[in-house]
Amino acid sequence: MQQPGRPREFDPDETLSKIMHLFWEHGYEATGLSDITKATGLGKASLYAAFGNKQSMYLKALAHYDARMVEGAVRILRAPDTAPLARIDGFLSAPLTALRDHADSRGCFLCNASADRAALDAQTAALVRAGYDRMRHAIAHALSEARPDMTRDARAQQAQLILTVYSGLRIMARAATNPETLQQAKDAVMINLGNKTE
């Protein structure tokens, strides 16, 4: 039984996941400390002791997202048991699947942070760049297997194009854009790579 006055024990990873989902869905400005205390069940003192101030919580939440969601995307793009163009198709299809099959219009926290905070905060910008770099390198890796005929420069350009389209799909999903419109953009990229999907 918990002793009177003893700080409430909690799982930092689980709590950070709750904070991450708040910032992911609502953004930095629209997420207040009262929202965080309500979602986590923790008081201000406990939150500050564990995660720092709101800015620190946001950065930790973004890093938490990177370690889970971005790393998951990188694993998909590097999966050795899947055809390389199928990996890229799956990567680009993720925003459509989230919106169309799960009514999830939160987009990508990394992409949201790019639009929401990166221009205002150097630490956020650094996390966003690092996450984008890892995805771009993973895309280039898949392209090197799918299109060994490509020059290094052409592969880098295609990787950037694919990442840019992915980010655009995620951002447009937040506005609940018609999934069919997003599908057309995704298909255009795959056609460009020589892998038309019906």
Question: What is the C-alpha to C-alpha distance for residues 83 and 108, in angstroms, rounded to an integer?
Answer: 25
Q: Could you tell me the pTM of the whole model?
A: 0.87
* Closest CA relative to residue 39, chosen from 21, 67, 53, 18: 18
pLDDT per residue as tens digits for the range 48-100: 999 999 999 999 999 999 999 999 999 999 999 999 999 999 999 999 998 88
Question: Looking at the chain, which runs of residues are DSSP E strands?
Answer: none
Query: What is the structure's pLDDT at 71?
Result: 94
| Mean pLDDT, all residues of the chain | 90
Name the amino acid, one letter, at 88: I
Query: What is the structure's pLDDT at 32?
Result: 95
Query: What is the structure's pLDDT at 198?
Result: 37
Task: Tell me the CATH number for domain 59-192.
Answer: 1.10.357.10
Question: What is the C-alpha to C-alpha distance for residues 31 and 25, in angstroms, rounded to an integer?
Answer: 9
pLDDT-derived band of residue 174, with 50, 70 and 90 as boundaries?
confident
DSSP 82: S
Question: What is the C-alpha to C-alpha distance for residues 90 and 193, in angstroms, rounded to an integer?
Answer: 14
Domain boundaries, the chain: 59-192
pLDDT per residue as tens digits for the range 152-165: 999 999 999 999 99
How distant, in Å, are the alpha carbons of 92, 164, 170, 172, 188 from that of 185?
10, 11, 12, 11, 5
In this model, does residue 196 exceed pLDDT 60?
Answer: no
Query: What is the structure's pLDDT at 195?
Result: 52
Question: What is the C-alpha to C-alpha distance for residues 182 and 176, in angstroms, rounded to an integer?
Answer: 10
* Closest CA relative to residue 133, chosen from 70, 60, 65: 70
In this model, does residue 135 exceed pLDDT 60?
Answer: yes
Structural contact between residues 127 and 135, judged by C-beta atoms closer than 8 angstroms: no
Long-range contacts of 124-130 (CB under 8 A, 24+ apart): 124/58, 124/59, 124/62, 127/59, 127/62, 127/63, 127/66, 128/62, 130/66
Q: Compute how many other C-beta atoms are within 10 angstroms of the C-beta atom of residue 182.
A: 22
pLDDT-derived band of residue 6, with 50, 70 and 90 as boundaries?
very low
pLDDT per residue as tens digits for the range 11-22: 999 999 999 999
In this model, does residue 142 exceed pLDDT 70?
Answer: yes
Helices (H) then strands (E): counts for the chain: 10, 0
Element (H, E) at 193: none
In this model, does residue 7 exceed pLDDT 60?
Answer: no
Structural contact between residues 118 and 105, judged by C-beta atoms closer than 8 angstroms: no
